[in-house]
Amino acid sequence: MEVRLLLGDQLNKEHSWFDDVNNDVVYAMFEMRQETNYVKHHIQKVVAFFGAMRSFARSLEKEGHRFLYYALDDPENEQDLKKNLNKVIDLLHADSFAYQLPDEYRLDEQLSAYTKSVSISTKAYDTEHFLTTRDEMGHFFKGKKKWVMEFFYRYMRKKMNILMIADQPEGGSWNYDKFNRNKWNGTPSIPPPYVPKVNDVKAIAKMLQDNGVETIGTISYDSFLFPMDREESLRQLTYFCDHLLTHFGTFQDAMHQEETNLFHARISFALNVKILHPLEVINEVITAYRKDEKKILLSQVEGFVRQVLGWREYIRGLYWKEMPTYKTLNQLENTNPLPDFFWTGKTKMNCLRTTIENSLEHAYAHHIQRLMITGNFALLTQTNPDAVDKWYLGIYADAIEWVQLPNTRGMSQYADGGMVATKPYVSSGSYINKMSNYCKSCSYNNKKRLGDDACPFNSLYWNFLDDKRGLLKNNNRMGMMFNLLQKINPEELAAIKERAYDIITKPDDF
């Protein structure tokens, strides 16, 4: 008898494990306090994970596979991975144990240690999900002083033969990012998001409450937007291709007061728990493009492909190359606490209030909100990246450490000193005004640096540049901004820094 472990983000029904029904194999899956408690998660994240896990187990059981599933409130559940595995292996008198390689370092370490502690035979399998191996990107950049995602993306395009004509990119350009930076001003109209049919949401939420699991955020049973099975995940993908893809690229960086989803696919949860495979997602999008190339421009499609084929695989490769050291990096030496309003949304800064309230309500924000609103403010206030990591990992349903950590600590907080980003992604209020309508409804003036009504991002921005000048002076991409900093007269800069200090020390007053 073999016990095969499946983790909560290993819901790949197309995995070769499930090609045939084998009565000598029992699949084990556990809802555990070990996983609900290592960071405080959004309630919708926990519900989505547990709901998807339950749907996955039911679908495999219907096909004849043997399954042993411990719900969180099962009296047999030890709430710990090692203890549960020992119990199941003893219960079934198993003589072998198998698992799919985890995508989180802590679970990889836990399972690696576990296999060394048991007397039965063990074997680890690939998840058959990613388009690269753990170490492929490290090999690609071996000997290079600087990693650049664009070069890796081009390698992936060629490797997978995606949007290629012979050895050249379709359309003559590798990257159409310059066409994907438009502000959305109300037109074209945005279709509503796809609302999947889901089971167990109320029951799981009640179970969490009854068992005292601490969560953040709220949950709506009528507009729960995370699919829990393969059929609904595929429908969500098709909906994106049919209704949203045509304008996705153009407005992928836009933000808006009244629109949470805009033209985004919202498939990241299904993708990250492996219900959907990245290649099928890419192929579905390209198929939609081929069907109607007059309506869907190449720039829309390339922007999407770059995120899934390039950025996603790149981030994973960096994670596995640099862990566990990566999780401790703090190259800008930031130590301040995360403001309390990150947990409540109670701030007068409209961009932050909107983004955080949306996050608390939906367990979702798109990449520019994460990078240039919450991430930007956390970096400008010189917040400890450990605190920022915990918030991002907990609040977003699609956040699993392999993807969250490099995006947060690297791209957002520049704590890795430039492994992911070529410069710190910081901005004053002008960028926020350029890409959104948040400033129109804000009590602060995005054009002012000083005064009670001056946008806090403005003084924080110039203060950050001044404070970190010594650490960033050799960054070529920062040269223009440091030149502008030099032109601010000393008296004004002193006043700017005084206001910035007030914001940093009392952020919840602003």
Do 368 and 452 fall within a single domain?
yes
CB 246 within 8 Å of CB 295: yes
- The pLDDT assigned to 136 comes to 94
Tell me, yes or no, whether 352 and 494 share the same domain: yes
CB of 98 within 8 A of CB of 2?
A: yes
Confirm whether pTM is higher than 0.85: yes
Comparing C-alpha atoms, which of 240, 361, 357 is closest to residue 289?
A: 240
Residue 353 and residue 208 share a domain: no
Q: What is the CATH number of the domain that holds 374?
A: 1.10.579.10
pLDDT at 181: 82
Residue for token pair 């119990």? 87
Same domain membership, residue 438 and residue 384: yes
Residue 218 lies in a domain: yes
Q: pLDDT by residue for the chain (510 residues), tens digit each? A: 999 999 999 999 999 999 999 999 999 999 999 999 999 999 999 999 999 999 999 999 999 999 999 999 999 999 999 999 999 999 999 999 999 999 999 999 999 999 999 999 999 999 999 999 999 988 999 888 788 899 999 999 999 999 999 999 999 999 988 877 899 999 999 999 999 999 899 999 999 999 999 999 999 888 899 999 999 999 999 999 999 999 998 999 999 999 999 999 999 999 999 999 999 999 999 999 999 888 899 988 999 999 999 999 999 999 999 999 999 999 999 999 999 999 999 999 999 999 999 999 999 999 999 999 999 999 999 999 999 999 999 999 999 999 999 999 999 999 999 999 989 999 999 999 999 999 999 999 999 999 999 999 999 999 999 999 999 988 989 999 999 999 999 999 999 999 999 999 999 999
Task: Please check whether residue 266 is in contact with residue 236, taking contact to mean a CB–CB distance below 8 angstroms.
Answer: yes
Q: Determine the Cα–Cα distance for residues 470 and 230; give it in Å rounded to an integer.
A: 51
Pairing mode of beta strands 168-169, 96-100: unpaired
Is the Cα torsion angle 28, 29, 31, 33 positive or negative in sign? positive
Q: Are residues 165 and 299 in the same domain?
A: yes
Q: Do 400 and 501 belong together in one domain?
A: yes
Shared-domain flag, residues 391 and 495: yes
Same domain, 105 and 15: yes
Parallel/antiparallel/unpaired status of strands 164-165 and 2-5: unpaired
238, 191 Cβ separation under 8 angstroms: no
Q: How many CB atoms lie within 10 A of CB 446?
A: 21
Which residue range forms the structural domain that includes residue 68? Answer: 2-125
Written as one string, the DSSP assignment of 194-247 is P----SSHHHHHHHHHHTT---BS---SSS-----SHHHHHHHHHHIIIIIHHH
CATH code where residue 190 lies: 1.25.40.80
Tokens 């309630």 belong to which residue?
43
3-state secondary structure 95-112: CEEEEECCCCHHHHHHHH
CA distance from start to end of the chain? 61
> Is residue 146 included in any domain, yes or no?
yes
